[in-house]
Structure 1
Amino acid sequence: MMVTSIIPVDKRKSKVFLEEGFAFVLYRGEVERFGIEEGKELEADVYQRILNEVLLGRAKERALYLLKSSGKTETWMKKKLQEAGYPEEAVSYAMNFLKEYRFIDDRAYAESYVRSYGNRKSRRQLVYELSQKGVSQEEISEAFSGHQVDDVENARQLLRKRLKGKTGISYEEKGRLSAFLGRKGYSYDVINRVMREISTEDREEWPE
């Protein structure tokens, strides 16, 4: 493996590129310690030492740090480690560690997400957001099986918040509110049902 270039990231770190492309990020002292030089061959045993002595443990520690604030999905974590410059071997090592000790569990994440937002968002929006986070359709379905989402009541609550007690809603305003609910993922049937509960003149009390 030929070292094609060493590019500084900042005053402390550098990116190392091999013939195959970008390889990893090291501190400058580590670049010197492993004898990495542009135009010089990087022996396979040295590359393995870099993985074992530096990158595997560092990727694991970075992953644990990223988990401090809140739970994460497997897809999200992989992307963050890759963006941080860790090679695939280090990313796989960190992910295997996280899954073995259940620091990463997409099913548990989906269940927690639905519990947290299931009384504020539409089912369709929740499915979309979880899919964007990399959670599989099977795990999303399992999350909903343990927590029912009431789209009608959630839409009512959203309208209450949007209207702020306003009465005498015009037909034009009802149209805008319907479009607003549509963007939030509510179906035509749900929107039609809750909009019928709004008077176009003096709005009656919301159904309990």
Structure 2
Amino acid sequence: MGGRITDLRALKSGRVAVYLDGRRAFVLTAIEAAQLRAGQVLSEDEIARLLERDLLEQAHELALRFLSYRPRSEREVADHLRRKGFDAQTVEAELERLRRVGLVDDRAFAQFWVENRTAFRPRSRRALQAELRRKGIPPAIIQEVLQETSPDERSLALRLARDRARRLRGLDPLTFRRRLAGYLIRRGFDGELVREILRIIEAEMGQGRDLPLDESA
């Protein structure tokens, strides 16, 4: 039912309560309420359009807040909005809005993810593929990005193994081997490569010399 706006009251939440004919009728985001004024008459259709735009604005505010912590894949944003109760049409409209301004970009996200992992929490190519699939990144993008940005698998595994081996010094040989192998396997390296790396590390340690900092040392 339409009516005349008799009051617009700012709420602590940052939204605005709209009063029609003396009664609180609905609540809008501040950006949608800014176009209204006391005394203005709203029809039912106008109210419906206001509420529809308000729903889109709510979704946008939530999406921007979600994206403020770190880059996200499209699936992550969509899942977040669905968990907040938005319907499929609103979610897709918001994704399209974010795409237009470059705030969601699965290829850029995949590059960020691989580079960040490589710098701070290195993983094998297989592990990175699995993580990106869980984020909803299309397989073609995953392959392209990994070809461009992922480090050499053997060099990475050897670097990680040497670093971990320094921390495991003093353990008996069997425990040392088991823990070092488990560490590499948890990071997604396959069994054949893990066995090769173990042989290299054990040979280096058996020679009674310090482990080099990287493969070229």
Quote the offset at 1:158 in angstroms.
Answer: 2.0
Task: Show the counterpart of 2:134.
Answer: 132
Query: Counterpart of 1:33?
Result: 25
179-188 vs 151-160, greater mean Cα deviation: 151-160
1:63 equivalenced with 2:63 (yes/no): yes
Match of 1:197 in 2: 200
Larger Rg: 2
Output the CA distance in 2 between the equivalents of 1:148 and 1:180.
19
* Distance change (3 Å), C-alpha of 1:30 and 1:83: farther
Partner of 2:188: 185
Residue of structure 1 in register with 2:145 after alignment: 143
**What is the CA-CA distance between 1:203 and the residue it aligns to?**
5.0
Alpha-carbon spacing, 1:136–1:70, altered in 2? closer, same or farther (3 Å): same
Q: Indicate yes or no: 2:176 matched with 1:173.
A: yes
Inter-partner Cα distance in structure 2 for 1:29 and 1:85? 21
**Corresponding pairs, count:** 177
Contact 1:170 1:201 in 2 (8 A): no
Match of 1:100 in 2: 100
For residues 160-204 of structure 1, the C-alpha deviation after alignment (integer angstroms, 9 at most, x for no partner) is 332335267603421332132112100122212210112275554
Specify the alignment match of 1:117 in structure 2.
117
Runs of 5+ in structure 2 lacking a partner? 1-11, 28-43
Read off the aligned partner of 2:133 and give its amino acid letter.
S
TM-score normalized with structure 1 length: 0.71
- Contact map agreement 2:110 2:145 (CA 8 A) in 1: yes
For 2:172 and 2:197, the matched residues in 1 are separated by 13
Q: Deviations over 1:90-125 (max 9, x none)?
A: 212211100111110001111122222236221111
Q: Which has the higher helix share?
A: 2
Summarize the Cα distance change of 1:203–1:83 in structure 2 as closer, same or farther, 3 Å threshold. farther
Distance 1:34 1:94, change over 3 A: same
The separation in 1 between residues aligned to 2:137 and 2:93, in whole angstroms, is 20
Uncovered stretches (5+) of structure 1, i.e. residues with no partner: 1-11, 14-26, 36-42
| Counterpart AA for 2:79 | K
Which amino acid is 1:194 matched to? I
Match of 1:51 in 2: 52
Deviations 1:12-51 (A, max 9, x none): 99xxxxxxxxxxxxx895795159xxxxxxx998655421
